[in-house]
Amino acid sequence: MRPLLPIEIESHTIELPRRITIGYDTLKELGRFILELIDARRVTIITGNNIIKRLGSKCEDALDSEDLVYKWLIASDTSNTTVQYLASRIDTTDLIIGFGGGKSVDVAKYIAYNLNKPFISVPTSAAHDGIASPFASIRGSNRPYSITTRMPIGILADLKIIRSSPKRLLASGCGDLLAKITAVKDWELGRDEKNEYFGTYSASLAHLSASIIMKEAKKFNDKEFIRTLVEALISSGVAAGIAGSSRPCSGSEHLFSHALEFIAPNKGFHGERCGLGTIMMANLHGLDWEVIRDTLDSVGAPTNAYQIGLSKDEIIKALILARNIRPERYTILNKIKLNEEKALDLAKRCNII
């Protein structure tokens, strides 16, 4: 936590993507997108098995058309072992691309950071804001939360591909965006009670990306909603870039989600767990949690534990553990310390269990 400094000596660094292209059928422009951004001839693409089968040849056509030399690497998971193995298979490359859902983008981002190579994000779904942020979730690292790497220099979002991804992933993206409501509230708490640095602009920007989803959720099935969702996720990643930390995007609801990952690994997507967390943390903050729950429900995101196979016990344990996940991050969970009884009451009050 950074103490407030006199305004004339307070400084921080803002990293932003240099180019973002969003549109239908943009994957075929990938070669040109790269060359307009950076002088790169040798490209490493990190992706998953399904994506390479579905979209590999289309991606290759785009790179061939600009005579780029490329190498594919498959990220089967986001473990540290996989990261080490893939990194060892990269000898000479000018650029690393993360092509896929959250996993491939996270692995590619982390490897690019460690090898000090520029990184481009080409998301194939819109399940969380990692598609455009400097943060990567890697399993088996010494921290249970996201690792700060570097911002992608470019993001190429093909809405045709993203729109064809499962609705459940898109609903999960909405959950990760609604989380900004409580994340910003927690940051305000850090400012007010711990004299923590607070970025008004980045907090407002992160909050805006949640508000827009609240407002537009009823259009979830419309073609244009996907553009709003992707832009909101990118803008939320940019808010973290402006803040220089994940503070505006990740508060107590993310700590709850990280705790669940420990207690009940692989149950629900990141954004789904964050959505459940947001409902309960909003209640603790005294916010209108029911409107958050109704918004999640309207996009088909889970609003109770059982919808993603979580038990009552797992929810209670995660609520109690959450404040210890990242002790330096002051949130409502430091102010209202949940024991078993209080956690049970909270989860019941919000119909999570």
Nearest to 219 by CA among 228, 210, 211: 228
Phi-psi region of 55 (alpha: psi -120 to 50; beta: other; left: phi over 0): alpha
Tell me the residue type at 267: K
Whose Cβ is closer to Zn ion: residue 45's or residue 174's?
Answer: 174
Minimum Å distance from CB 326 to Zn ion? 13
* Total number of residues that touch Zn ion (CB under 5 A): 2
Residue facing Zn ion at closest CB distance: 176
Counting other chains too, the contacts that 48-56 makes at CB distance below 8 Å and 24 or more residues apart are 48/74, 48/75, 48/76, 48/100, 48/101, 48/103, 48/104, 49/74, 49/76, 51/99, 51/100, 51/101, 51/104, 51/124, 55/27, 55/99, 55/124, 55/161
Nearer to Zn ion, 34 or 183 (CB): 183
Q: Which two tokens stand for residue 254?
A: 């993310």
Q: Name the one residue in this structure whose structure tokens are 């107590």.
A: 252
CA torsion 74-79-85-86 (nearest 10°) is 40
Q: Which stretch binds Zn ion (CB under 5 A): 20-28, 176-184, 211-219, 277-285?
A: 176-184
Q: Per CB under 5 A, does 261 bind Zn ion? A: no
**Region of 14-22, 45-53, 102-110, 174-182 interacting with Zn ion (CB under 5 A):** 174-182
Which DSSP helix (H) or strand (E) runs through 135? strand 135-136
Q: Between 119 and 256, whose beta carbon lies closer to Zn ion?
A: 256
If the CB atoms of residues 70 and 135 are measured against Zn ion, the closer one turns out to be 135
Q: Binding mask 104-133 vs Zn ion (x if CB under 5 A, - otherwise)?
A: ------------------------x-----
Asked if 176 touches Zn ion (CB under 5 A), the answer is yes
CA–CA dist 101, 259 (Å, integer): 22
| Span from 17-25, 34-42, 173-181, 234-242 in contact with Zn ion (CB under 5 A) | 173-181
Token pair for 230: 């992707």
Residues 261, 262, 267: CA angle, nearest 5 degrees: 35
Identity of the residue, 26 or 250, whose beta carbon is nearer to Zn ion in the bound complex: 250
Output the smallest distance, CB 255 to Zn ion, in A.
11
Min dist. Cβ of residue 213 to Zn ion (A): 13
CB of 174 to Zn ion, least distance (A): 12
Q: Which stretch binds Zn ion (CB under 5 A): 74-82, 169-177, 193-201, 261-269?
A: 169-177
Q: How far is the CB of 232 from Zn ion (least distance, A)?
A: 13
Choice between 270 and 317, CB closer to Zn ion: 270
Q: Measured from the CB of residue 312, what is the shortest distance to Zn ion in angstroms?
A: 24
Least distance from Zn ion to the Cβ atom of residue 217, Å: 18
Where do the H-state alpha helices sit in the chain? 30-37, 49-64, 80-88, 102-115, 159-163, 167-194, 200-216, 225-243, 252-263, 270-285, 289-299, 312-325, 332-335, 340-349
Interface with Zn ion by CB under 5 A: which range of 170-178, 184-192, 258-266, 314-322? 170-178
Residue 128 or 168 having the CB closest to Zn ion: 128
185/248 Cα distance (integer angstroms): 9
Q: Which residues contact 219 (CB under 8 A, 6 or more apart)?
A: 225, 228
- Judged by CB, which is closer to Zn ion: 130, or 244? 130
Residues 6+ apart with CB under 8 A from 328: 1
Using CB under 5 A, which of the segments 112-120, 133-141, 172-180, 228-236 binds Zn ion? 172-180
**Residue 26 or residue 182: which is nearer to Zn ion going by CB?**
182
Could you tell me the smallest distance in angstroms from the CB atom of residue 134 to Zn ion? Answer: 13
| CB 272, min distance to Zn ion, A | 11
Tell me how far the alpha carbon of residue 129 is from its chain's centroid: 3
Q: Which residue ranges make up the site for Zn ion (CB under 5 A)?
A: 128, 176
